[in-house]
Amino acid sequence: MDATYQIGSSTLDLPLLKKLAEQPHHLQLSDAARERIQRSYDYLHGKLESSKSPVYGINTGFGSLCNVVISEDKLTELQENLVMSHACGVGEEVPEAVVKTMLLLKIQSLSYGHSGVSLETVELLIEFYNHEVLPVVFQQGSLGASGDLAPLAHLALPLLGKGEVYFKGERHLASDVLKQLNLSPIKLQAKEGLALLNGTQFMSAYGVELLLQGYKLSYLADLIAASSVDAFDCNLSPFDPLVHLVRPHKGQIKTAARILEFLDGSEIAAGEKSNVQDPYSFRCVPQVHGATKDTLDFVAQTILTEINSVTDNPNIFVGEDRIISGGNFHGQPLALALDYLGIALAELANISERRTYQLVSGLRGLPDFLVQKPGLHSGFMIPQYTAASIVSQNKQLASPASVDSIVSSNGQEDHVSMGANAATKCYRIAANVTKVLAIELMNSSQALAFRAPLKTSAFLESLLEVYRGEVPVVSEDRILSEDIHNSISFLEGLKIDAAELY
């Protein structure tokens, strides 16, 4: 039986999000959340009955049409027209795991009781989450201000019995799935369409997924770098704690300690070294990987603040008897953070490819391109090319989206964050980092075979034993793309304890 998580019972943090992502959970609203939602809904509708003054998005048009007042008998039509007209997403589909997180984060944001939506609407979102009814959402269409309008419109369409969803692994009309589950589409009431479409849940759901991936990639980068340090017969003195305590960046200290832990007991590391210094890609692993760790911590703070916030507009403050039109939907904090994260993750691949290059260069007693009889066999010549091409693509993707802005809605929305583009670019970067690290692991594993009979640490030897079951040592040329894909799958399948990540 699935575990249950009560929305409103705690703050969303990364360990909880990791648990929700990996283990089946059912959501339900806490009593306090239910009370907040109902109180805000009652207040809003009381205001509409007692006052005919225009309130943006509730009884007016949207964007540059904010001064057009809508009659009371057209409010439901206004909200449903909003959802349909804004469902303009194109491009690749958003991964199902990200869509599920979007549902969770939208429910969380509405649970604070500052949005004026009905309990019925929130409960139907929860039914979607619990039954894994995942709306078809597209990656392109959001400017990252006024919220993620187009993606969230596609997320909201199935509530009305419109659009398409994935259910039990297949794509269906939302209306058919609602009937199958004996659920009824809702009739949107005042402000509900705006509450569903305003918000940063597209950007922040990608942000959550990227943080979970990023902490794992940071760990794997350290692990694979440690294997390369031994494969290249490097000194361990650059990882001495004394070096890092006089420049005490948290990530730098943690990286150096982790490398030493991974290499504890290595026969190769204990051997006498003829080389006084090692290339930066080995010697400066703590400084480079550590900076990425510090970036992850900064971005985590931004993302966690965002997902535990109210990001629609206008905001309802029952205790203060006010409805305020503001700009909490603007994605600038996320855009900057996701650009920063993309740059930081790209650097893990950047330095990884340089270690791969050194390993195939015929240095330190290793054969050219890590193969017997180089010349007859090309060995690991071209995997380095592949890594280089991916790293170059990452450099292009890491160009920041947040420095751009395009005027929209007839000048009403005259500065936008482009945070959605930052999110999808960063997601591609993260996938590329896995590929580059997988290629480095192929190379370091091959190089370590040439160090026999000397062994690396017991920890790394046990890892390599499992790895070589998937990617055997190369004795002569074969189709290496299969090995690269197997290496990628090996890294993706590794389960890293959350305690190692945070």
CATH no. for residue 80?
A: 1.10.275.10
Query: Residue 500 above 60 pLDDT?
Result: no
Question: pLDDT tens across 430-457, in order?
Answer: 999 999 999 999 999 999 999 999 999 9
Domain identity same for 122 and 188: yes
Question: pLDDT tens across 460-471, in order?
Answer: 999 999 999 999
| Residue 56 among the catalytic residues | yes
Closest to 264 in 3D by CA, of 313, 315, 309, 230: 230
Residue 147 has a pLDDT of 85
Domain identity same for 247 and 362: yes
Strand pairing report for 134-135 and 315-317: unpaired
Residue 190 has a pLDDT of 85
Residue 387 and residue 436 in contact, taking contact as beta carbons nearer than 8 Å: yes
Greatest Cα-to-Cα distance within the chain, rounded to the nearest angstrom = 88
Which amino acid, one-letter code, is at 343? I
User: Which parts of 85-209 are beta strand (E)?
Assistant: 90-93, 134-135, 138-140, 164-167, 170-173
Domain identity same for 193 and 220: no
Distance of CA 483 to the CA centre of its chain: 27
Angstrom distance (rounded) from CA 181 to CA 183: 5
Give the 3-state DSSP-derived string for 210-260, with helices as H, strands as E and coil as C.
HHHHHHHHHHHHHHHHHHHHHHCCCCCHHHCHHHHHCCCCHHHHHHHHHHH
Domain identity same for 168 and 258: no
Residue 415 has a pLDDT of 87
* pLDDT > 90: percent of the chain: 81
The arithmetic mean of pLDDT across residues 279-299, rounded, is 98
Residue 412 has a pLDDT of 73
The arithmetic mean of pLDDT across residues 219-237, rounded, is 98
Angstrom distance (rounded) from CA 97 to CA 75: 34
Dihedral of CA atoms 461, 462, 464, 470 in degrees, nearest 10, equals 160
Q: Per the structure block, which two tokens stand in for 237?
A: 């003195």
Confidence band for 331, pLDDT divided at 50, 70 and 90: very high
Backbone φ and ψ for 167, nearest 5 degrees, come out as -145, 125
Please list the residues that pair with 322 across neighbouring strands: 317
The arithmetic mean of pLDDT across residues 62-78, rounded, is 69
Backbone φ and ψ for 31, nearest 5 degrees, come out as -60, -40
Domain identity same for 76 and 179: yes
Question: pLDDT tens across 332-349, in order?
Answer: 999 999 999 999 999 999
User: Does an H or E element contain 434, and which?
Assistant: helix 419-449
Query: Residue 26 above 60 pLDDT?
Result: yes
Domain identity same for 325 and 450: yes
Domain identity same for 220 and 358: yes
The arithmetic mean of pLDDT across residues 106-132, rounded, is 97
* pLDDT > 70: percent of the chain: 95
Which residues are CB-contacts of 42 (< 8 A; sequence separation ≥ 6)? none
Length, in residues, of the chain: 502
Question: pLDDT tens across 102-113, in order?
Answer: 999 999 999 999
The secondary structure of residue 65, as a DSSP letter, is G
Confidence band for 501, pLDDT divided at 50, 70 and 90: low
Confidence band for 499, pLDDT divided at 50, 70 and 90: very low
Q: Which of 56, 129, 215, 219 is the catalytic position? A: 56
Which residues are CB-contacts of 501 (< 8 A; sequence separation ≥ 6)? 14, 215, 216, 218, 219
Which amino acid, one-letter code, is at 140? Q
Domain identity same for 114 and 247: no
Residue 49 has a pLDDT of 83
Residue 250 and residue 293 in contact, taking contact as beta carbons nearer than 8 Å: yes
Q: Which of 149, 167, 199 delimits the end of a domain?
A: 199
Residue 79 has a pLDDT of 85
Query: Residue 502 above 60 pLDDT?
Result: no
Domain identity same for 47 and 146: yes
Domain identity same for 171 and 253: no
Q: Which of 149, 177, 199 delimits the end of a domain?
A: 199
Angstrom distance (rounded) from CA 89 to CA 344: 29
Mean pLDDT across the chain: 93
Question: pLDDT tens across 195-216, in order?
Answer: 999 999 999 999 999 999 999 9
Q: Which of 142, 171, 199 delimits the end of a domain?
A: 199
Query: Residue 149 above 70 pLDDT?
Result: yes
Residue 461 and residue 455 in contact, taking contact as beta carbons nearer than 8 Å: yes
Angstrom distance (rounded) from CA 122 to CA 130: 12
CATH number at residue 475: 1.20.200.10
Residue 295's domain comprises 206-500
Domain identity same for 210 and 186: no
Domain identity same for 195 and 243: no
Number of domains in the chain: 2
Question: pLDDT tens across 27-68, in order?
Answer: 999 999 999 999 999 999 898 888 777 766 677 766 656 666
User: Does an H or E element contain 121, and which?
Assistant: helix 119-130
Residue 129 and residue 151 in contact, taking contact as beta carbons nearer than 8 Å: no
